[in-house]
Structure 1
């Protein structure tokens, strides 16, 4: 490779600077650069200015949307807090109402049980009174039957007269 480079340069006439302005197009390049220097800032400047204005407009729009979203978020958080308080109040009211209903139901149950117990006691007392009355009647009927059965053999005419006199005097005192 080192052999080729010197031979290549030798075949083209060597390496050097060409200072002829017409052959090198230096004048054309100077005109183009001067034109770009003169007109490009206005053209690119207006494009860049429009782009900068669009970006600023987008940033302002984004800031406004951010403020609106922040405001909406704050309002939503307040609404959520209010809803949570309302739900807690409803839950507390529901628990209080359930407790009240339970206590009322228990009281009614106790009252009903007391009423049933009183009714049962009244029925028991009535049945006991009826049985006692029936036993008294049966005891009295047996006593009368036994007395009537033994009385004819024990009472003679004299004893009967005394018994009748004694019953009459007892009735007279009463």
Structure 2
């Protein structure tokens, strides 16, 4: 089509020379043809540049969004790892606390048991001591009573001669 337009234009220029063509229909077709050619040649480049710039911006935004998404995934993974470590640490601390509580409970019970045993032993010792003191007191009373009785009977049963013989025999036994 463009070739025919140039051919028609060349024929018209040859017949009349160079000049103005005032025929509206012919000039509009030629002008429209020239405008279409210019639009296709230069407009294609401009539109191509605009589209390539737009495409580059879109690609950059997509890459940026993908990078942010990856960073978010990485941050989520780190947060989940930290959460898992914190949960494990909490379980470990709770386990240690329970173990320590059991040890403390056992230690307190053992100490209490030792204290009870010590108090029992002390009470037994005090009781034995009191019992021995009471027995010793009773013995001394019994001995005192027995001596009183013996002395009273000796005065009745033994006279001076028998007392002397008893003393001499006792001294002789001591000398042996």
TM bin (shorter chain): 0.5 to 0.7
- Residues in 1 aligned to 2:144 and 2:27: alpha-carbon distance in whole angstroms: 166
Match of 2:11 in 1: none
SS of 2:108's equivalent in the other structure is helix
The CA deviation string for residues 42-73 of structure 1, in whole angstroms up to 9 with x for no partner, is 33322211111012112221232233233223
Q: Pick which of 124-133 and 140-149 moved more.
A: 140-149
Q: Pick which of 143-152 and 128-137 moved more.
A: 143-152
Match of 1:97 in 2: 96
Unmatched 5+ stretches in structure 1: 1-20, 169-174
- Residues in 1 aligned to 2:104 and 2:58: alpha-carbon distance in whole angstroms: 67
- Residues in 2 aligned to 1:48 and 1:36: alpha-carbon distance in whole angstroms: 16
The CA deviation string for residues 12-57 of structure 1, in whole angstroms up to 9 with x for no partner, is xxxxxxxxx95x9556645543432232233332221111101211
1:157 aligns with 2:158: yes
1:52 aligns with 2:51: yes
Unmatched 5+ stretches in structure 2: 1-20, 171-176
Number of residues of Structure 1 aligned to a counterpart in Structure 2: 144
- Residues in 2 aligned to 1:130 and 1:69: alpha-carbon distance in whole angstroms: 88
1:119 aligns with 2:105: no
**What is the TM-score when the length of structure 2 is the normalising length?**
0.67
- Residues in 1 aligned to 2:87 and 2:144: alpha-carbon distance in whole angstroms: 83
Q: Give RMSD over aligned pairs.
A: 2.9
Report the Cα offset of residue 74 of structure 1.
Answer: 2.8
Higher relative contact order (CA 8 A, sep 6+): 2
